[in-house]
Structure 1
């Protein structure tokens, strides 16, 4: 009984230490978010000398100020357009490329796969990309934010491995019934590939929603900038012109630059956080299956 008791004691000690470690990680992860949430709901006349996660008073004046700002509204609309359009086109192009490279009968499949993987490690660089976008006439347009990165090599390889793991008998039986490649892809392969499609959708949508550097380079019109650029100017540069902080309304005492910055951060991150739970159940399965077969 002593060895069993010693083993049980070891297991219990491990579980306790593991639980405490996970609890610590959760606290470290959640506290900044809770603090920003508390700050965004706080009136402008509070003291910021101490950190707090429960606001002494609750006001929605900060969110009202942010959500009625013209730059924030235009940035939000531009980001939504970029995210939906970019995700749809990237997902379609990635699936087409991955499905093609997953077929053993595709001529020189290994060469083309290696050629595509090569782009993961070497690229033309920032200046050639800028000159290319400029020469194509894409400057100051949404297409400059979508077309240069239409296909992610990593995502395409994950999707290719997923398609390779599917039974070949599905395709063979469909061809016997007279189905062509497009019919097989849209009517058979895509419906049973929801895990990897949901995974790719999440990756691509988050990447487009969070992207800001390409907009900083290619977009010169302030009304066409994405939300991340607007947030950057408000939070990091503290641009008064972006929020017109000197032109307060009747709620001028209820807001200040710090609470405005906190509200802007939450307005930026909450939409994409709410998007995740709808795809979470497919995410783990899609990543595991897509990464097993080379």
Structure 2
């Protein structure tokens, strides 16, 4: 397998802004991505980023999901936009020698676009977390290290986070009903038994694990090597031991009023995913 990070941000943050790859090098200086760009497009300079942005706005927005999900045939712009991604995936697979490439983009609309590509065996791992934990996470101030501390990760209010949580999770459920292979796993289950979770994900991806494939996992941490994530969470720069722990800080830190708001807005889907709608504060 080859982890590419959040490819949805590659066009602006990497090709245009030349931010740092997960390996630490500038995107333009990373040997892996230089080979991928050469194979996919004859070099990244041949990518019309403005065209990618136009297509993104035209087809890859949450508001476009109903049209993408119900269309008998997708417009040419959907196929054109999907082609930019499939070329990156194919080139990354060839450069890395991997059978599976992992795009950790979180945009549900992108997944709905990619289902129209005839050149992909699209399989989606749908990771669900308690909506209140997600809401609290989006309120925190987190520096983006790839910009040398000059900018921060996006923040949302708990109310907006709740609406986005509903919309994106519903969109992934809709994707499954459109025939795309979707494997759902809860964050809380993953951190409680990552070995079992990764084994089930590998099976879903059609990958036979070797006896030593998961040797990087230990009881309380994972040993991480250098990767080439194009964008994503700052932890992509972590090399060495990454602690494995369940983060329930939101139970204490998210104000009760905001916790109740998110619980009320997300109540139907919280129940569907097995979460309690009302949760007492842990002391």
Bigger helix share = 1
- Tell which structure's C-alpha radius of gyration is larger: 1
TM-score bin, normalised by smaller chain: under 0.3
TM-score (norm. length: structure 2): 0.24
TM-score in terms of structure 1 length: 0.24
Which one has the bigger strand percentage?
A: 2
Determine which structure has greater relative contact order: mean sequence separation of CA pairs < 8 Å that are 6+ residues apart, divided by chain length. Answer: 1
